[in-house]
Amino acid sequence: MKKPKNEVSQFYKEYLIKMKNTVIPFMRLTENMHYMESSTGNLNMKWINLPSDNEFTTLNKLMIENNTQTSVQLQLLIHYRVNSKRSIPFVYYSPNNEAIMVCNSSMYYLIGGLGPLGGPTQYQTNEIDLASSSTTDSNRSMYQPLSQESSAWGMVYDVLIEPNSIAHLYDWEIAHEQLYKLETIHEQYKELLGNKVPKRVKLLKRS
């Protein structure tokens, strides 16, 4: 039997870090990527696409390592774009799910995640102005709850990394024709992965 195309693969995304009003792109992922490493300053990042037996689900893990003797506080922005020139008819943020919902004529998509301090703290349902998001007034431009004919969206997670420690973040995209099944998978991920996101992971001292 021919394996159906993974519906989630029609999106690609970029990870960006915001520190001291500066936005730093550090990972741009394309289709069929399974592992990537990057670094900026004293931070090292590893991204892993975790295996899933569900062809309509993509689950990823991001590890951010702080190699300094001081705590690092940052915001992690995950920015999604549509792979084609077409737009999505309806994109909205669901407070109940703490996730972005994407809808077209045949499928529902849920974009969610869980960081060391919980779920997303900011969201945007259309193209994000990265220059604006690096200013102190950016909070007002990062809370548009609903967009029609959107081709991009994103969410922001607050991250605190202790000295010589690693912060973990999981993010996922789920696609399904039935909304309640999609939300059920999302809740299962939150319950399962909530116990797997350590707030403090000390690094072993290097000899």
Low-confidence winner among 115-124, 126-135, 173-182, 189-198 (lowest mean pLDDT): 126-135
- pLDDT above 70 (res 130): no
What pLDDT was estimated at residue 24? 87
Domain-located, residue 207: no
Does a structural domain hold residue 125?
yes
pTM of the model: 0.84
Cβ within 8 Å of residue 110, ≥6 positions away: 94, 97, 99, 100, 101, 102, 173, 174, 175, 182, 183, 185, 186
State what percent of residues in the chain have pLDDT above 90: 56
Counted domains in the chain: 1
Domain holding 61, by residue range, is 7-194
- The C-alpha angle with vertex 174 and arms to 53 and 159, in degrees rounded to 5, equals 105
pLDDT in tens, 77-102: 999 988 877 788 999 999 999 999 99
201 occurs within a structural domain: no
Residue at 199 is within a domain: no
- Ordered alpha helix ranges (H), the chain: 130-133, 179-194
The answer as to whether 1 is a domain residue is no
In a domain, 34, yes or no: yes
CATH of the domain at 52: 2.70.98.40
Establish if 142 belongs to a structural domain. Answer: yes
Are 43 and 17 in contact, with CB atoms under 8 Å apart? yes
Is residue 95, in this structure, part of any structural domain at all? yes
Q: Give me the pLDDT at residue 28, please.
A: 87
pLDDT given at position 99:
96
